[in-house]
Every structure is written in C-alpha cells, then in structure tokens.
Structure 1
C-alpha cells in the first residue's frame, strides 16, 4: 500500500542574503526615518533586529535591492544625514524565511498539482455570497485559475455525474489530473472524478499482482484500470457513461497501456454476462484464425453488421451478440443495454473497423466481420482474478449478476476476489451489510474484509467489502457436464 505524501517543512526555507547597518540602539527611531523606503519591507518581518555582537547596538535590515556595501545606491542626501547622526557600520546579514512564515495559500500552491478549475460546495447559508466568493478566489488566483464552479443539488442522473454552475471565469471543464504517476484527462462536467479517492485507488491496486486479470464493472475514466494496467495486469473495463469510456480510451493511450485494457460501454450486468459467454461461433475453415476472434452481430434494424463493436474500445450498440456452434448447434444471446450515444468526436473515428473474410463451409457460405481482438487477450470465461464494483450508491444491486455467472466446466484456477464499494449510515452495521450480500448470492461469505474508505457525511461513510466469490456461485451446467472444451 502506497504511503501518504509527507510534508517536508525544510523545502519551504528561503534564504535572503542582505546588508544591515549597525547603529546605536537609541538612534533607531531617527535613523529609520532617514532610511524610510530603503529598509527591508516584508510582511511579518521587523526591519530592526537585535545585534548579537552587542546589546548597545541594533541592526537595520536593508532592502534586498541594495547590494553595495558603500550604500552608493542610497541618495546622497540620506547618506549625509546618516553620517551626521552617528558612525555606522555596514555588515552582511542572513535571513531565512521558513515554513512558519509562509501562509497556507503559498504552501498549498507549492505542494498541490496545477489545475485551472476550482470546485466549491457552497452551503445554503452562504449561497447569497456565492458570486462574491467565486470572484475573490478567481481574482486572487488568476491566471492559474480559469474556472470556478459550484456543485448544484444532489447526484441523481444515471451516470452519477454532478451538476455544476460556473460562478466565475470561462466555462471550460476539460482538464488533466495526475495521480500515482498516471495522467487522467477528463471533462469535469461529463464524467465523475473525485481526487479524495486517490489513496483508495492506490490501496486496491496494491492488492493486484502483475499478470492478474481485472474486471472493472464501473471503470469511469480509469482510476483503477490505468494503474492496474501500468502494474502489468490486464483489465476489462466497462462504464455505462459513453463519455467516461471516451476518456478511458484517451487515458489508456496517454499512459501507454492501451494493449492492457479492453474498454466497453455497456450496462454492468450485460458486460459481465458478455465476458462469461463463450465465443462458440469459431468456424472450421482452412484459414488461420487463431489470432482473431469472430463475433457475428445481428442488427435488429436490418441495416447489416454493426461497425461499433470491436476488441478495441468501441461503443457497443443496443443489439444482440449471437454465438452459434459451427455445426448448427444452439445459440446463446447476450442483450447489450447502453446509454444514449453521445455525439461523435473526431478522435473516435479510428481506422479499426476490421475486414471481411468469406469462406465456404459444409453449412454454406458465411461472411463475418473480424476485429483486432487478439487471442493473447485473456479468456475471461476461464479466469478473472479481481472484480471491482466501484459504484457505492448502487453496487450492491449488481451483485446478483455474479450468481450462476461462471461456468465450472470452463473455469480455471481460483474464484475471483470481489471488491464492492458501498455507503453505510451510522445506524447500519457491517454485519447487516454482509447479510444483504449473502442473501443476494444465496451463499455464505468466508473471510469478508471491510475497509473504511472515508467519511462522506456526519452519519455516512464509504466502505469497501472484499471477499472471494463462493463456489456455490458456479453455474454447474449439468447438461453439458461431459462436453469437450471448444478451444
């Protein structure tokens, strides 16, 4: 588990090499008038200090702009007045401005990563002042800060994306965030992002091992998927929000892990069923198809094969993916339910629409569209090591998809760990939450682990429940108990 950032106070030390004038202490008031405008002028720093060499003298600190010991940079009139008053001595003086000197704003600016958006959660009693608050923040931090927004209402939409009002600056919500060595590009108005969860992202990913297969049901723009891929895991990443998937694709490329991530834009249940559905439609042909996957897409509209799905990170349309055995056997269907499609972006037009291959079979001619889905991609119906369910407001509702999802005759190795996030109020207990999970799966959970992530309200906390999926969740599929494996 990654450690928290440690505050090194010595990093804020600023050393000033100054000139000082040694004078009799009783003349401090008179000489300070003569040197007015030429003494050190810094907030909370006194320009007249005690002299360690003598109790009878004091040191007047001169401005950083005065560099010559002969005081030739001071007007003759002031120097003559100083000479007429007393004998003085110009000496070097070193002053260090440490952590205690700097205000919080200065410290935080030095520590925190750069960004142009300020996100406010203004309480109801301060709403009449919201534009004033935003204007002060904007004025005092520009040009670094370009946009100040306030969260409006509660999150109610299906994508769990907050609504914002722009209080000051430009309406530009496209930004970039850096976490644990990864870069995340996003549009803050279209996708969900919470920087407070950085340490939780690191904690969970620290449990993954290189070479493991991760299934992220609510992946967002990739806060779990990207670092997991960077660690050497392979990630099946899904999100219902098409904009989240769009930025997930971008972030995978920016962080150079696109070969370790397959992104989907589907309903989470359909996504899980799709991953566990065998592609039994591999045809028997003379062509070498071992490096590609073949998926037949039936379009209810009758307009022909869909071009939207591929082994890359394409939008999956609301259609049925049908897999049929090559000898005319039964077929299985997975209904893909997706959100309303967003307008196409220029960078969505990838040159990855596949190609057509025609061949003859005993059953007749076939024509299918092939995509760049390499068989080096893990077979998800055989093995998944971790399933991440990061949708605290509703993840429990999706646990039912795990019941009877895996087919025992194809599964290899241990059952996956499930990491399910949820909210818990002060009048609830982990025991009651565990009972809810066991009731949904109709199984006893062994060795459950509850991790308290953070408090989100006075009486509400976010937790992560981790457990290994019970063996009773297997689909026994007794009808095909002795059927040979297809691959």
Structure 2
C-alpha cells in the first residue's frame, strides 16, 4: 500500500505500484530486491487524474499519464506499522502527531489542530485504513459547538458520508446522527459515575437530555425519568432510543427550553416526587439555575417537601476552577450558603476544565420570592 507524504492537493491521487520482473536470479546479489528495502526498484503508474504536483514526488522528469521507473518519494508501508509510526513518517518533522480520536459507532471523530489542516486528508486516510472495518467514516470538527441545539459542523475526510450511526454504551444501544445531535463518547465513564448515585426510589429530571445518554440508563435504575431537550432532532432520537431499549414506559419526553421545562415540572403535581435534577450543558447550565428560585413559593412551607439534589456540569478557565464554578452557582441562585460537592471531570483544552457540582437546593432558594426580571 502507498501513502503520499504531501499537502492536501495530493491527497486525492492514487498510484498503482508494481515491482518489475527479475531478469535473472543472480541479479539479487547486486541490489537486494523484495520487501520494499533500499535498492529495490518499483514502477509507479498514476491512475487518477494528472496533477503537475506529482512531479515533485516521482522525479522532475515525470510528465503524467505514464509509467515511471525513476526515483520516488512515495513511502511504502507495511501493515505492521501502527498509526503513530505511519504519521511520524508522513508528516513534517517536529509536528505533533494526532494519534487519538473519539469513536462514535462507525465514525472516527478527529479534532485536528491548525497545523494539521494541510494534511487532514492524509491523516484521515491513515486512520481509516488502520481501523477498518470498525471505522467506516472519518470526520473533523470545523466549527465550535452551536449553543442552541448542541450540534457541531463536521467535515467528512475519508470513508462514506453517513453521519447516522448506532453505538453501544454500557449494554444500551443508541442511534445518533452527528449532523443534527450531540454525542460525546469520552464522557461514558463520567455518566456511569453519576448514575451510580441513583437508586430505585429516585425520580430524575434531565433538563438537557440530548439523545438520552443519561436518561435512558437512568430509567433502568430509577422509578421515573422526565427528559427534556430543546433540539427537536435530539428529542426524536431520544424517543427512538427509549423504544429501542424497551424503556419508553419509564421515560416521559419533553421538547422545550430548559428554563420553561424547570418551571413546568415544578409547577405541576410531579414536583414533590422529583429527587434528582441533572443539568448536563457545561457551556451555560449555571445560567439556568435562577429558574429554581421560588419553585415552591406558592406552596405552604409547613408541608414537607423533598428538595431535589441538583447535578450541574460546567467549564472554567480560571486559575482556581472550583472556586470560580462555585461562585457562579451562588450568584445564579442568589444564595451565599450553598453547600456544594465539587470535582474535576476532565481537561478539555489547555487551561480549561470541565467540572461537576452537586448540591441540594437550599430551602431559602426554593421558597424565595422571584424578582420581577425572572
């Protein structure tokens, strides 16, 4: 198999490489042939459209549309090479090797740096070839996550163009379309960590449920799940995945803004049953916390209520990320005395942490009088 170490304009070119016939067996003594070693001569025939840049790879005398028997910069690779070795051989010396990628079903999701862009098709081809048949599509994120629907713009670099896939996480199946919904396989362990704190008596309110990575496994554990998302495509897949895993009877699905969902749930008869609230929207989940102020304000204070435990995810670039995240929670709730359990989830970028905070909503918050602006 041949890989062409060049910038993306060359990435589409394929070459058919063959070894010339040996004339005499004794010629083996003069310039070791076989196994792609130094001294062996190959015939290279360009079989796709001619590009003048190929002359830089196949010798200055190459004119295209012909077989070439001269020197070549094509690198012949043995299947025993691992991805890192291949890319080290193909990419410019000193460049950071993009050896890791996220897997979502049959899709390999790269997150390439700016310096990798001229070589993105080459990198994708290596990833695809070394991970078949499990990987059939290689994509790269080319834009930030869109806040409203939590979708990202992806560019298909290699393989088929389908972004619809099925994946299995902790024994449950999920259908997703990465063109319209969000999924992060890197958070599988974190999701299990959260779910381990639920029990069969719980009623869970998932404010930003997506396609159900928390709601659906939670439904196997708890009494009831109320799952919401603003993205109508995510809600469609959430309903499909609930049926796929035979859990649709334990999950009630909603499609509305997070703040409206919180208002509606705690204004209904369901309010006193809710024991756990999950807010997995790290970019701005804290901005929705003010919706909990006064959720029980119209109910008698002498009646016993269960104050739900709230689990919030967020990002911080601060020098002390825990202090920063705690401050934002207190400001959103307009309450100083909030006893928060905090931990770091993962470093998502240099200097940027994803954090998890868990706390029981204080009585002073749930019975508070809302300001005219809320």
TM-score band by shorter chain is: 0.5 to 0.7
The CA deviation at 1:116 is: 1.8
Q: Paired residues, what number? A: 270
1:218 pairs, out of 202, 205, 208, with: 208
1:186-233 superposed Cα distances (whole Å, 9 cap, x missing partner): 111111111110011001111111121111100011111011101133
Query: Partner residue of 2:142?
Result: 152
The CA deviation at 1:431 is: 2.6
Measure the CA separation in 1 of the matches of 2:169 and 2:157: 27
Secondary structure in 2 aligned to 1:382? helix
1:121 pairs, out of 66, 86, 111, with: 111
Q: Are residue 401 (structure 1) and residue 291 (structure 2) matched?
A: yes
Matched-pair contact (CA < 8 Å) for 1:119–1:150? yes
Q: Are residue 244 (structure 1) and residue 234 (structure 2) matched?
A: yes
- Normalized per residue, the structure richer in helix is 2
Secondary structure in 2 aligned to 1:183? strand
**Per the alignment, do residues 476 and 141 of structure 1 end up closer, same or farther by CA in structure 2, a change over 3 Å counting?**
closer
Measure the CA separation in 1 of the matches of 2:282 and 2:153: 19
Secondary structure in 2 aligned to 1:431? helix
Query: Partner residue of 1:387?
Result: 277
Measure the CA separation in 1 of the matches of 2:323 and 2:105: 42
1:37-84 superposed Cα distances (whole Å, 9 cap, x missing partner): xxxxxxxxxxxxxxxxxxxxxxxxxxxxxxxxxxxxxxxxxxxxxxxx
**Per the alignment, do residues 218 and 135 of structure 1 end up closer, same or farther by CA in structure 2, a change over 3 Å counting?**
same
Looking at CA atoms only, which structure, 1 or 2, has the larger radius of gyration? 1
**Per the alignment, do residues 203 and 103 of structure 1 end up closer, same or farther by CA in structure 2, a change over 3 Å counting?**
farther
Deviates more, 1:269-278 or 1:236-245: 269-278
Secondary structure in 2 aligned to 1:134? helix
TM-score normalised by the chain length of structure 2 = 0.67
Measure the CA separation in 1 of the matches of 2:104 and 2:295: 44
The CA deviation at 1:159 is: 1.3
**Per the alignment, do residues 446 and 123 of structure 1 end up closer, same or farther by CA in structure 2, a change over 3 Å counting?**
closer
1:144-202 superposed Cα distances (whole Å, 9 cap, x missing partner): 43211111022234212111011122210111111112111111111111111001100
| Root-mean-square deviation (Å) | 2.3
Secondary structure in 2 aligned to 1:276? helix
Measure the CA separation in 1 of the matches of 2:207 and 2:251: 13
Matches within 5 A, 1:132-171: 132-171=122-161
Extract unaligned runs of 5+ from structure 2: 1-79, 84-101, 370-374
- Normalized per residue, the structure richer in strand is 1
Query: Partner residue of 2:56?
Result: none
Query: Partner residue of 2:340?
Result: 448
The CA deviation at 1:134 is: 1.7
Measure the CA separation in 2 of the matches of 1:429 and 1:113: 29
1:456-485 superposed Cα distances (whole Å, 9 cap, x missing partner): 0110110011010000123479xxxxxxxx
Measure the CA separation in 2 of the matches of 1:244 and 1:158: 12
Measure the CA separation in 1 of the matches of 2:108 and 2:362: 45
**Per the alignment, do residues 193 and 156 of structure 1 end up closer, same or farther by CA in structure 2, a change over 3 Å counting?**
same
The CA deviation at 1:141 is: 3.8
Q: Are residue 179 (structure 1) and residue 69 (structure 2) matched?
A: no
**Per the alignment, do residues 226 and 204 of structure 1 end up closer, same or farther by CA in structure 2, a change over 3 Å counting?**
same
Matched-pair contact (CA < 8 Å) for 1:113–1:178? no
2:252 pairs, out of 239, 242, 262, with: 262
Secondary structure in 1 aligned to 2:259? helix
Matched-pair contact (CA < 8 Å) for 1:444–1:470? no
Q: Are residue 196 (structure 1) and residue 86 (structure 2) matched?
A: no
**Per the alignment, do residues 114 and 390 of structure 1 end up closer, same or farther by CA in structure 2, a change over 3 Å counting?**
closer
Secondary structure in 2 aligned to 1:171? coil
**Superposed structure 1 runs of 4+ greater than 6 Å apart:** 102-105
1:280-314 superposed Cα distances (whole Å, 9 cap, x missing partner): xxxxxxxxxxxxxxxxxxxxxxxxxxxxxxxxxxx
Matched-pair contact (CA < 8 Å) for 2:104–2:165? no
Secondary structure in 1 aligned to 2:271? coil
